A and B are shown apart, each in its own frame.
Chain A
Amino acid sequence: DAGVIQSPRHEVTEMGQEVTLRCKPISGHNSLFWYRQTMMRGLELLIYFNNNVPIDDSGMPEDRFSAKMPNASFSTLKIQPSEPRDSAVYFCASMRKGGYTFGSGTRLTVV
């Protein structure tokens, strides 16, 4: 089992550019979560999916953020346009029967 796979591990982009973060959950896990971690705000839940359907996106900061899960093995988190305050570590996690597995995170720096 390769675990939850996130790509890229690091991303540096210029303000105004579109950024796409990717996540491959563990096969058989039916829930997927996107978190953002910053020093100031800690770990914030952005959105989560059950069986590929978005359940709660109340944590998505604004319309610049969007997330999709077109199938059970892939999800994306897109920021367009990106801003310096979006700089953070973004985690994806998948869950089955109460057991959560986190990816290694993507460190995003917007300059």
Chain B
Amino acid sequence: AQTVTQSQPEMSVQEAETVTLSCTYDTSESDYYLFWYKQPPSRQMILVIRQEAYKQQNATENRFSVNFQKAAKSFSLKISDSQLGDAAMYFCAYRSWGGKLIFGQGTELSVKP
């Protein structure tokens, strides 16, 4: 069975600085997708970024980028130029070939002004 691990329950960053959130996963599949979701206090789940495992190039979305290391089964999220609105719970997620989406435990990010 696939598992997703986020080892940082909480992280803090100064406004305008850069922060990296860690995620590792375990799978025997070779083709899959990885995601980062943001959950603000409103509890809405918002897709931040998505990575296809067959693509070697790391995905980027504006200030958000990932470091995808397939052999190491690592998928970290880097947030550049952090803003107050980035404060939220961040979840790493793995999508298996069958469509099942499995989440890590989450990292709560706070942004200090």
Contacts and interface: CB of A to CB of B under 8 A. Distances in A.
Contacts of A100: 35, 47, 101
Interface string B27-70: 00000010100000011110100100000000000000000000
Interface string A89-111: 10101010010101011000000
A105 B103 CA distance: 16
A98 B100 contact: no
Nearest to B103: A43
A50 interface: yes
A104 B43 contact: yes
Interface stretch (B13-21, B76-84, B91-99): B91-99
Interface footprint category on A: 10 to 19
A45 B95 contact: no
Contacts of A91: 45
Contacts of A14: none
A48 B100 contact: yes
A31 B96 CA distance: 13
Contacts of B105: 42
Contacts of A105: 43
Contacts of A31: 99
A12 interface: no
Nearest to A105: B43
Nearest to A43: B103
Contact of B102 (A45, A55, A95): A45
Contacts of B101: 33, 45, 93, 95, 100
B59 to A, nearest CB: 13
Interface of A: 31, 33, 35, 42-43, 45, 48, 50, 55-56, 89, 91, 93, 95, 98, 100, 102, 104-105
Interface of B: 33, 35, 42-45, 47, 50, 91, 95, 98-106
Given A35-B103, A42-B104, A95-B99, 14 more contacts: A33-B101, A43-B103, A45-B100, A45-B103, A48-B99, A48-B100, A55-B98, A56-B100, A98-B33, A98-B50, A100-B35, A100-B47, A104-B42, A104-B43
